[in-house]
Amino acid sequence: MFLDIFSLICSNLPSTRSSLLTGEKSARGKVSGESKILSVIQVFNIIGLERTIGGLWRLGAVDVDCQPIVSYENFARTIKVSEHLTKPNSSGLAKEGLYWLEFDVEYNGKSTDELITIWRKEAEAVLTARHKEGTSIELYKAVAQRKVHVFINAADPEQVDLLSLQLPIMQENGSNVQLKCKALQFLEDYTARITSDSI
């Protein structure tokens, strides 16, 4: 049985907009090989969200993890990244070769100012790659944490490895960065394929 969490959320929350990785598009993702669904939701009515989560719990054992986030562009503006790089992303992510990376950034042995300088270089590099080179990437920063969620398209896993090693935050602060990577599928595609494809 497939549970369409997105439809359940949207039907119960008229004041909720949901997007996975791209502007206003209604999409959500399934983590490959795990029973985990990922959605980025902008909530205007917290009580509506609480009611929806309560409805999910009534359906059975469902583990819900909500984390407040901000767009990486907004965060980048606060650390003084050039305004032309921090405009909202107008392009979306492709269905194939989609990865979800979580960066947990510490800064042992560095001052806060040094961390901000490194992070500014990081944001400029990533947003420049998207702006000038058309890199297919969406980023979100966890509120009041040094954690970044990155959604990126790559031709193969080796490309993700190479890209992660080239980042300024890895080159200048790599020993203080924990990185997790998961393959991701758009949920609509996953449900269509799992119900129709033969093994």
**Domain check: are 107 and 48 in the same one?**
no
Using DSSP, state whether 141 is helix, strand or coil: strand
pLDDT at 12: 45
**Domain check: are 83 and 172 in the same one?**
yes
pLDDT at 27: 54
Residue 119 burial (C-beta neighbours within 10 Å; 0-12, 13-18, 19+): buried
Residue 97 burial (C-beta neighbours within 10 Å; 0-12, 13-18, 19+): middle
Name the residue with tokens 């200048």.
Answer: 172
pLDDT at 11: 46
Domain boundary among 51, 67, 83: 67
Token pair for 28: 């959500």
Which alpha helices (DSSP H) does 13-137 contain, by range? 46-59, 72-78, 112-133
Domain membership of residue 131 (yes or no) is yes
Number of domains in the chain: 2
Domain membership of residue 99 (yes or no) is yes
Domain boundary among 67, 86, 110: 67
| Beta pairing class for 98-105 and 69-71 | unpaired
Q: Which helix (H) or strand (E) holds 160?
A: helix 157-166
Closest C-alpha to 118, from 176, 181, 74: 176
pLDDT at 191: 87
**Domain check: are 85 and 176 in the same one?**
yes
Give the residue numbers spanning the domain of 157: 70-186
pLDDT at 56: 86
- Average predicted confidence (pLDDT) for the chain: 87
pLDDT in tens, 27-78: 589 999 999 999 888 888 899 889 988 988 898 888 889 999 999 999 999 9
pLDDT at 23: 39
Domain membership of residue 90 (yes or no) is yes
* pTM assigned to the model: 0.85
Distances (CA, A) of 81 to 68, 115, 123, 190: 22, 14, 7, 37
Domain membership of residue 193 (yes or no) is no
Q: How far is CA 197 from the centre of its chain?
A: 28
Ranges of the chain whose pLDDT falls below 70: 1-27, 197-199
**Domain check: are 82 and 147 in the same one?**
yes
CA atoms of 58 and 12, how far apart (whole Å): 14
**Domain check: are 55 and 98 in the same one?**
no
Domain boundary among 41, 67, 93: 67
